Structure 1
Amino acid sequence: MEPKSLVKLWVDAFNDADVERLVGFYSDDAINHQVANEPVKGINAIRAMFEADFSSAEMVCIVENIFQDGEWAILEWRDPLGLRGCGFFHIQNNEIVFQRGYWDKLSFLKQQGLPIPN
């Protein structure tokens, strides 16, 4: 499967808040690094991250663009509240082995009515 196609399926699972479907796209030792947070390593930690995130916030990914370059897919997104970001997905053997996301954590916390850490 092309990286761009896999990311389209990932977005569908994300928008359904389907944690098990989401983690099914990752290799067992994948790394998910949302730059506003510490990197998350391994499929069990990624599962726990998604479970926590979906239980505390309403998250929706509206695709603006998806680009592909070799084993990489680049997702440019927005959400209904106006937050924007981008994600980079390194895909090998039809699995995400590394993901990095860029977005404004302070804006996200304010929009979701979540506590802002000191």
Structure 2
Amino acid sequence: MRPKELTQQWVALFNQGNAEALAELYHDDAINHQVANEPVVGKAAIKEMFAQEFATADMTCIVEHLFEDGDWAILEWKDPLGLRGCGFFHVLDDKIKLQRGYWDKLSFLRMHGLPLPIA
């Protein structure tokens, strides 16, 4: 599966809030690094991360642009509340090996009425 196609599948599963199916898109030793947070390593930990996130906030990923360059997909997204970000998906052997995302965590927390981090 091409990186762009896999990322389209990722978006559909993300929007369903399906942590288990999302985790199956990753290699067993994959890394998901949302740069506002510490990297999450391994499929099981990534599944748990998504399960916790879906339980915490109602999230929707609206694709603005989706590009492919070799074994990378580049996703520019927005959500219904106005948050924007981008994600990079390194796809090897039809699975995500590395995902890196950039977004404003403070804005996300405020938009969802979640507690702000304590300094």
- Counterpart of 2:53? 53
- Counterpart of 2:25? 25
Q: Taking structure 2 as the reference length, what is the TM-score of the superposition?
A: 0.98
For residues 66 and 114 of structure 1, the distance between their equivalents in structure 2, rounded to whole angstroms, comes to 29
- Report the RMSD for the aligned CA atoms in angstroms: 0.4
Say which SS state the counterpart of residue 110 (structure 1) adopts: helix
Deviation string 1:42-91 (CA, Å, 9 cap, x unpaired) is 01110110011000001100000100000000000000000000000000
- Counterpart of 1:112? 112
- Counterpart of 1:2? 2
For residues 63 and 76 of structure 2, the distance between their equivalents in structure 1, rounded to whole angstroms, comes to 6
Matches within 5 A, 1:1-118: 1-118=1-118
For residues 7 and 104 of structure 2, the distance between their equivalents in structure 1, rounded to whole angstroms, comes to 21
1:20 deviates by 1.1
1:37 deviates by 0.1
Counterpart residue type for residue 31 of structure 1: I
Say which SS state the counterpart of residue 59 (structure 1) adopts: coil
List runs of 5+ in structure 2 lacking aligned partners: none
List runs of 5+ in structure 1 lacking aligned partners: none
Q: Taking structure 1 as the reference length, what is the TM-score of the superposition?
A: 0.99
